Amino acid sequence: MTLSRRTMILSALAGSVVSPALARAEVPAMSFPSIDGGMIDLADLRGNPVLVVNTASRCGFTPQYDGLQALHDTYSARGLVVLTVPSNSFNQELASEAEVAEFCELNYNLTVPMTEITPVRGPQAHPFYRWLNDVHGVAPRWNFTKVLLDANGQYVAHFGSTTRPTAPVLTRQIEALLAS
């Protein structure tokens, strides 16, 4: 069974039908404000697989920053972009971008691109997360949900909070994208 046929069957069982074209839809043109100033335009990341992760500084999963940095250190030279999206959608983020940046630098020596504090759920969610939910039925259930996009900006997979960034189930998919 092809992926698109499986997607249509699962969508039909869930009560909605998603066309194969929609299931492969690319991320629409959009950008995030960068925590360092300026913008992170998703279109500028095309040509590279991207792992987008909603994060929070006061979460039990916050030590996953180490794994996100390890992914960056291991795969960025081959093209992987790890984009962290600090969010207070689950009430576990610090009060300001300056506090988040300082916390990540001091505690994790984080060098991956990071957005400003951004809503990831509900009506205030960033357009990326609304697209992810509307088109793919994926909404973060908690902090450190990981969303993998291919080099064309198409959704590949998502992984919940309990999947560590360096887990084989995730790194195998990253390596496959980098090899293609």
- Model pLDDT for residues 10-62, shown as the tens digit of each residue: 333 333 333 333 445 677 778 999 999 999 999 999 999 999 999 999 999 99
The single-letter DSSP state of residue 52 is E
CB hemisphere CA count around 107 (13 angstroms): 13
Q: Which pLDDT value is given to residue 2? A: 37
Distance CA 71, CA 57 (A): 19
Q: Copy the structure tokens of residue 119.
A: 């809503």
The CA distance from 129 to 140, in Å, is: 8
Question: Does residue 104 have an active-site annotation?
Answer: no
Identify residue 51 by its one-letter amino acid code: L
Give the burial class of 110: count Cβ atoms within 10 A of its Cβ; 0-12 exposed, 13-18 middle, 19 or more buried. buried
Q: Which CATH fold topology does 49-179 show?
A: Glutaredoxin (3.40.30)
Domain parsing of the chain, residue ranges: 49-179
98-121, pLDDT tens digit by residue?
999 999 999 999 999 999 999 999
Beta bridge partners of 115: 34
Q: Which of 22, 30, 59, 178 is catalytic?
A: 59
Residue type, 25: A
**Quick one: average pLDDT of 81-102?**
97
